[in-house]
Structure 1
Amino acid sequence: MSKFLGTDLRWAAAACDPTTLARHDGRLLLTSGWVSHLLQETVYGLMTDDGTRALVTRARETYALRRGALLQELEKHGLKGHATSGMNVWVPVRDESAVVNGLRSYGWWVAAGARFRLVAGPGVRISVAELEPVDAARLASDFAAVLGESEATYGG
C-alpha cells in the first residue's frame, strides 16, 4: 500500500503467509501496536472503489507497456533485463558505479543495485514509471554505450 497510498497506510491492509504475519505482528509491538480504523476503512474504500480499481488497472497496463518496451530495446543491444511486474527493470552489470555514473552523463538516473539485492550479482534498477516507450530505444542505446565505455575503462 505504501508505494501509492503513502507510508501511513501500509499496515492498513495485509495479506501474507503465517511467517510474514508473525514478523508484522512483532514489529507492531515495537510501535503503537495498532492500526487506525480510519486508515483501515480508507484502504478498504479505495480498494473496493470502481474508479480506484480502474486507475490501478490503467497503471498496471501502462507499466507493463513501458517495461516491455525497455526490455525489447535492451535485447536489441544484446542486453538481458529482468522484470515481470511493477515499475522497475533489473539489468545485471559488472560494475554498478560505472554504469550509474555513465548513464548519468547521458542524462539518465538509475539506481545501483546493491541495496535491492540479497543473492543476485551486481546490477542496476531502472524505473520505467515515467519512461515513455519512445524513449526506451535511446536509453537502451545509451546503456549499451556505457557498458562499452566501462569495459574499456575498468577492464570489464
Structure 2
Amino acid sequence: MVAARNRCSAQFMWTGVFAVCLLATCLLSGCEAGAGGDAALTSQTYFELVDWHISGFWVINCPVAWVRIKNFNQVPIKDITFQYNTYDWDGTPLDQGTYTIEGTVPAASVKNFPELYVGMVNLHSEKLSTKLLSVKADSGGGGGGGH
C-alpha cells in the first residue's frame, strides 16, 4: 500500500514537472515572435491577406497565403512576422500561429508574397484571419523573396 502511494506520488511529481516545463516553453516561445521588432517601422507597414486556401489531403492541412506588404518607411524592412488564426464554419476558433516572411520589402514600395505555407492547422479550418505583429529594418537593403 505504501509502495503504491509512493509510486503515485512520484508519477504526480513528474507530471507536475513536465507541466511546468511545457508551460515555460510555451510562454517563452510565444514571446519570441515579436521580439526585436521595431514598433515605429511596424506602424508604417500595411499588411494585407490577398487570398488563401488549404493545401493537404484531409490529414495534413496547411494554409497557403498570398500576402501583400506596403512599406511606407524610408528604409527596407525584413523579418515581417504575422499571426494567423483559423476558425471552423461557425466561427469557432481552432488554431493560432505565427509566421515570419523571408525576404525584404524595399523602402516606399509594395511587394507580394504568394504561396506562403504558414503551418499545420485543424482539419475543419474554413476561415483565416491575420494580423501583422512586427517588422525589422533591413540594413543590407536586399530585396529577396516575394514577387
Greater fraction strand: 2
Q: Structures share a fold, TM > 0.5? A: no
Name the larger-Rg structure.
2
